[in-house]
Structure 1
Amino acid sequence: MKGRLENAGRDAQVIGAVADRRAMSALLDRIDEQTRLAGHNRLALLIFGLGDAVRYAVNVFKVLEVTPPSTLTPVAGVHPLVQGLAELRGQLMPVIALPQLLGGSPPVHPQWVVTEFNGRRQAFIVANVERIVHVDVAKLQAPDAQSGEAITGLVETPQGWLKLLDFEHVLARIIGEPPELPDAWRGRLGDHAPEVLVVDDSSVARGQMQRTLTALGAQPILLNDGAQALAWLLQASESGRLARVKLVISDLEMPQLDGYALTARIKEHPRLKHLRVLLHSSLSGRFNADLVAKVGADRFVPKFSSEALANAVLEDLSAV
């Protein structure tokens, strides 16, 4: 059941259920050839299950392959839900028991979803992989902030609701929070404390950016999605507050309005186009560099490197 998913798709609505190894291989090959949705406020999602009635999804940009289990090498001193290390594509990576992490039981016939984000590769054990769906980002709903679930969004499909797992939250629980900004960076912005708008649907990412920006001496304003951010910016442009905002840092994957679409709206608007926009994502830069330039973003920075983010913020603010 192998195949690459390094690009997301264009116009199919639902690509049918997968029953066997040949079908999965053909499916992933087809997606690899056909898909290129990013930048159009659309999202390709791989649907999977963990052994209960809930259906989960992950952005296909984060998925390298779906594969049957292979040989595991036990590792001492790691989180108990890291089942061991496996060699895939010539690289050792941790294999994480996702069902147990979310309170379930080990699946009887597991599959591995091999992912790459935050500069790391890891495999997640799942019970089954269903299909790929393409959704309009505007139809994604933000989860209840009080639920405590590790999800970034909900979307309704003809087959029922999907939960988009917050894999950044999952990895933080397994591996730990990203390292904090070293003391040498603290206070580098001096006394003027510029306001920076931060837009991300992951609470882990928002927290990391808030700590980094505060340590530098900036005043972060935290919002959850692109639609909230655009509304906030338009209101700020009318009230006069926009003059205090020097930089927008946006995630790529978000409900309502993704980072590409938000950037395009900012750069097209006569009262907002002067703002510098830094796109900040856990996704690899292998496919998005051209899109970042196309929508007019000023920079792309990978997530969860406090020093890389701090350096980019200092350079962008010095250019204002």
Structure 2
Amino acid sequence: MSKLLNNVNQRTQMAGENRLELLLFRLQNGQLYGINVFKVKKIMPCPPLTQLPYHHPHVAGVANTMDGSLPILDLLSAIQSGKVQDPRKQQVIVCEYNRKMQGFLVDRIDNIVNMEWSEILLPPKGIGHRHYLTSVTRHEGKLVEIIDVEKVISEVTPAPEDFKTQFDEDLSELKASQIPRKVLVVDDSVVARNQIKRCLEKVELEAVLLKDGLQALEHLQAMLEEGKDPYEEYLMMISDIEMPEMDGYTLTRNVKQDARMQQLFILMHSSLSGVFNESMVQKVGADRFIAKFDADELAVSVLDHFRKRSTPA
């Protein structure tokens, strides 16, 4: 596991081919879970933890590491499946989500598997709306659950959604414009979809929400079959990268390689971060990338594209 992130180039190439490497781990409930290796910075035994006053009940404590203070979250407690009794016996997966480092207590690491995104499926219908899954898959006949970590983190430390920037002048221009007011939003996390939706509504834009890349591609292709031009229907598309069935890279490449859709502006918006993103955005033809979730930055990016589109070439 110490060589987890050694071959960045190989993993970058894999990501561009609708593939991923999934780190499999278990919690004390015995269930098998998975997380994209790209989000993992390191794995380590749980260090000594300091308890902070008035901390969230899902936070096991704060660790003093070489990289600074690291909050350690009891993932078992966060998904409402129990509570870790002795953190000292746990492993910690250190990840970067939404621009912040976060440690997750896990019982043990299983292995790393190479998979296609088409093997990663949406959770089955009928399990309700309170679950913590973005997707599921199978490995060696066993069910692997992929947790909606953005939902978990948002319940512990919600991202601020109020604007610090004033957009009054932009909104006046937007109201007078004939440019489409709809934005296609593609993200497998219900929390992320709703964050983006609320952000867009504050700048008086309408969000059309879809759950994965395959749904989005089929939606756009259906529009073409009906004689509609996606560029004339949508101001832009905002797409996550990690999604079941088809990832954002593959979605973007399919859209940009189709002459009928290549004018559609695509903003990639993901909690994935790292040096590979800029090269991957260029490789698949996306127009811009920003990391989740900053309401001001997202609004500025959307309105910046609106101004460019409303200015005659």
Q: Structure 2-normalised TM-score? A: 0.88
Match of 2:58 in 1: 81
Structure 1 contact 93–121 (Cα < 8 Å) conserved:
yes
The answer to whether structure 1 residue 106 and structure 2 residue 84 are counterparts is yes
Displacement of 1:89 in angstroms is 3.0
Aligned partner of residue 259 in structure 2, secondary structure: coil
Displacement of 1:69 in angstroms is 1.2
Match of 1:47 among 3, 19, 24: 24
Structure 1 contact 50–104 (Cα < 8 Å) conserved:
no
Identical pairs, percent: 35
Alignment length (residue pairs)? 296
| 160 and 30 in structure 1: CA distance in 2 versus 1, 3 angstrom threshold | farther
Q: What's the CA shift string for 1:194-249, capped at 9, x where partnerless?
A: 11100000001000100011111111100000000001111122332632212010
Q: Distance in 1 between the 2:199 and 2:6 partners?
A: 41
**After the TM superposition, which of the residue ranges 103-112 and 266-275 deviates more from structure 2?**
103-112
Map 1:121-136 onto structure 2 (within 5 A).
121-136=101-116
Displacement of 1:178 in angstroms is 3.5
| 241 and 220 in structure 1: CA distance in 2 versus 1, 3 angstrom threshold | farther
Instruction: Give the letter for the 2:28 counterpart.
Output: G
**After the TM superposition, which of the residue ranges 46-55 and 104-113 deviates more from structure 2?**
104-113
The answer to whether structure 1 residue 119 and structure 2 residue 99 are counterparts is yes
| 91 and 47 in structure 1: CA distance in 2 versus 1, 3 angstrom threshold | same
Q: Distance in 2 between the 1:112 and 1:155 partners?
A: 23
Match of 1:67 in 2: 44
| 101 and 252 in structure 1: CA distance in 2 versus 1, 3 angstrom threshold | same
Match of 1:311 in 2: 300
Instruction: Give the letter for the 1:137 counterpart.
Output: W
Aligned partner of residue 288 in structure 1, secondary structure: helix
Q: Distance in 1 between the 2:8 and 2:186 partners?
A: 29
Q: Structure 1-normalised TM-score? A: 0.87
Unaligned runs of 5+ in 2: none
Match of 1:237 among 216, 219, 224: 224
Q: Distance in 1 between the 2:256 and 2:7 partners?
A: 31
| 30 and 289 in structure 1: CA distance in 2 versus 1, 3 angstrom threshold | closer
Structure 2 contact 92–106 (Cα < 8 Å) conserved:
yes
Q: Distance in 2 between the 1:179 and 1:121 partners?
A: 20
Instruction: Give the letter for the 2:156 counterpart.
Output: I
Q: Distance in 1 between the 2:272 and 2:257 partners?
A: 25
Match of 1:19 in 2: none
Q: Distance in 1 between the 2:85 and 2:93 partners?
A: 14
Q: Distance in 2 between the 1:82 and 1:306 partners?
A: 25
Structure 1 residue runs of 4 or more that deviate by more than 4 Å after TM superposition: 29-34
Match of 1:263 among 252, 256, 263: 252
**After the TM superposition, which of the residue ranges 216-225 and 73-82 deviates more from structure 2?**
73-82
Match of 1:278 in 2: 267
Unaligned runs of 5+ in 1: 1-23
**After the TM superposition, which of the residue ranges 114-123 and 79-88 deviates more from structure 2?**
79-88
Match of 1:35 among 2, 11, 19: 11
Structure 1 contact 99–107 (Cα < 8 Å) conserved:
no
Q: Distance in 2 between the 1:34 and 1:249 partners?
A: 26
Q: Distance in 1 between the 2:275 and 2:52 partners?
A: 30
Match of 1:10 in 2: none
Aligned partner of residue 253 in structure 1, secondary structure: coil
Displacement of 1:31 in angstroms is 5.6
Match of 2:204 among 217, 220, 230: 217
The answer to whether structure 1 residue 150 and structure 2 residue 132 are counterparts is yes
Q: What's the CA shift string for 1:86-111, capped at 9, x where partnerless?
A: 12233111111111222223155211
Q: Distance in 1 between the 2:104 and 2:202 partners?
A: 34
Match of 1:190 in 2: 175
Structure 2 contact 229–260 (Cα < 8 Å) conserved:
no
Aligned partner of residue 44 in structure 1, secondary structure: strand
Structure 1 contact 185–215 (Cα < 8 Å) conserved:
no
